[in-house]
Amino acid sequence: MNQHGTNGRHGGTSELDLRPTMLLRNVRVVDPDGSENGNRDLLLRDGVIEAIGVRLDAGGAPSIDLEGCAVLPGLFDMHVHLREPGGEDAETIGSGALAAARGGFTGLACMPNSKVRIDQRAVIDLVLNRAREGCGTAVHPIAGVTVNLDGQQLTEMMELKEAGAVAVSDDGFPVDSSEVMRRGMEYARMCGLPVLGHCEDRALKGKGVMHEGYWSTVLGLRGIPAACEEIGIARDLALAALTGVRFHVCHVSTRRGVDLVRQAKQRGLAVTAETAPHYLTLTDECLRTYDSSFKMNPPLRTWEDVQALRAAVLDGTIDAIATDHAPHTPLAKDGELDLAPFGVIGLETSLGVSLKALVHEEGMSLEDLVRRMAVAPRRILGLPGGSLRIGEPADLCVVSLDEEWTVDPSHFASLSRNCPFAGWKLRGKVLLTVANGRTTHATGELASSADSDRAGRGSLQGDVNMVSRS
């Protein structure tokens, strides 16, 4: 069975086959925006949530006991790099969509810094078309603030929004000129688009490779001081206050970055923020073996920063968890650390790592985790969803809460392997993902049930991405 088709086209399987009919029994419903929470049965018919309740009648649908599992609204990753168009050897829209499905995500937003930038309508059309050919994960493009992300000329944001862009960002290539950034924010505000800021003083970063501190000194690697991020956030928050735009701080990695966001919120600015699972778990010391799987920008910081970030996610200062999934081929990533590109992948480990860092270690509620991983990202981008609504197409994932698994990047659906969590034992495994009524990932018993109406053609076995059948 093909584990990652080049673009996720599905051959002989018709759309209807992928719309699950089954009764999920004894499952813990975790839906902060819903009325039914706690242990329930959930009945899916042709991809639609027909009922949520106690001791439901299966009405002929296959019924599966899911004691120990939770059903969550489909997760949403608002910060993903899909590489297509232009970097298809590292990831395609199809493979990224599959990786997302495996991770429990039903939707994602992709950053515009593919080799061919998302800065004009044709590229948005291409992304959306490719996404439609894929497994069913919703893909929402983010357009550049400036053409070619070179910080000079604003993109045609109004048209880009009409074409489907949900936000603008020059992620990876932050607008250096405060003047251009100001105009970009003013224009985005007019268009009703949020600006997602990769906040960084690039001159101060220079040729930095890792966080500047004790470990950069020991390892002899050029440092990226925390001040790089603090200056970037402070500037962009000042401009957000000036322009009134909805501003979102990407990948906060520092303690003082958190403080700046907190203060801005207290002042009443329309500001939101995200951080990534790796900033909640790893520190700069991880680089001591010079493994480029720990090289990303912003860089891994210190344990103090990790603790401040966890606290900020717990108290809501940080609204969203996003992966900054940044695939690179082994060829690009292998070799001398200072020459390797920044970035790590995260779609297939995000939930497991977040459960560990926040729920298991910090006692965060599952409801709050769902807020950070499913609800807030959609709200920030002005998208509906993030709840389990009766009568509507299911958009959910089922997680076996106590099931342990070992992270093995060689089995990822992502085309890349630059994962900093290889070998980690995580608790909480995604068994089923249904995006907008379509099964996008199913494993074990759920795979065969999801496939029940095709029983004549043999049932699926093992871990299966539904779309990969042909």
Partner 1 sequence: MTFRRQHLLGLEDLSRNEILHILDTARSFRQVLERPVKKVPSLRGVTVCLAFYEASTRTRLSFELAAKRLSADTMNFSSSGSSVQKGETLLDTIKNIQAMKVDMVVIRHSSSGAAHYLSRNVDAHVINAGDGFHEHPTQGLLDLYTMRDRFGNLDGVRVAIVGDIAHSRVARSNIWGLVKLGAEVTLVGPQTLMPAEIAKTGVKRVTNCLEEALETCQVVNVLRLQLERMTSGYLPSLREYARIFGVDTRRMEKAADKIMVMHPGPMNRGVEIDPAVADGPNSVILDQVTNGVAVRMAVLFLVWGGAPASEMGSEIALHK
Reference 287, options 225, 346, 221; nearest CA is 221
Q: Which amino acid would we find at residue 270?
A: A
Q: Which amino acid would we find at residue 118?
A: I
Least Cβ distance, residue 338 to partner 1 (angstroms):
5
Residue 334 binding: pick among Zn ion, partner 1, none (C-beta 5-8 Å cut-off by kind): partner 1
Stretch that binds partner 1, among 92-100, 209-217, 266-274, 387-395 (CB under 8 A): 209-217
Q: Estimate to the nearest angstrom the gap between the alpha carbon of 413 and the chain centroid.
A: 15
Tell me phi and psi for residue 70, to 5 degrees.
-120, 145
Least Cβ distance, residue 425 to partner 1 (angstroms):
23
CB nearer to partner 1: give 177 or 217.
217
From 305, 324, 368, 395, active-site residue: 324
Stretch that binds partner 1, among 123-131, 221-229, 310-318, 385-393 (CB under 8 A): 221-229
Contact pick of 266, 339, 363, 423 for partner 1 (by CB under 8 A): 339
Binding mask 315-334 for partner 1 (x = CB under 8 A): ----------------xx-x
Is 65 noted as a catalytic residue in this protein? no
3-state helix, strand, coil in the chain (%, to 5): 35, 20, 45
Sign, CA dihedral 163-437-130-115, equals positive
Residue 218 binding: pick among partner 1, Zn ion, none (C-beta 5-8 Å cut-off by kind): partner 1
Residue 198 binding: pick among partner 1, Zn ion, none (C-beta 5-8 Å cut-off by kind): Zn ion
Binding mask 223-242 for partner 1 (x = CB under 8 A): x-x-----------------
Residue 274 binding: pick among partner 1, Zn ion, none (C-beta 5-8 Å cut-off by kind): none
Task: Check: CB of residue 47 under 8 Å from CB of residue 20.
Answer: yes
Residue 171 binding: pick among partner 1, Zn ion, none (C-beta 5-8 Å cut-off by kind): Zn ion
Give the Cα separation of 161 and 186 in Å (integer).
Answer: 15
Contact pick of 221, 276, 280, 344 for partner 1 (by CB under 8 A): 221
289 binds partner 1 (CB under 8 A): yes
Give the Cα separation of 305 and 265 in Å (integer).
Answer: 20
Give the Cα separation of 183 and 301 in Å (integer).
Answer: 32
CB nearer to Zn ion: give 130 or 198.
198
**Window 69 to 128, contacts with partner 1 (CB under 8 A):** none
Residues in contact with Zn ion by CB under 5 A are 171, 198, 324
214 binds partner 1 (CB under 8 A): yes
Q: Which amino acid would we find at residue 24?
A: L
Query: Long-range contacts for 172-176 (Cβ within 8 Å, ≥24 apart)?
Result: 172/111, 172/113, 172/198, 172/297, 173/113, 173/149, 173/198, 174/198, 174/199, 174/200, 174/202, 174/232, 175/145, 175/146, 175/151, 176/151, 176/202, 176/203
Q: Catalog residues that contact partner 1 under the rule CB under 8 A.
A: 212-214, 216-221, 223, 225, 289-290, 331-332, 334-340
The residues carrying an active-site annotation are 324
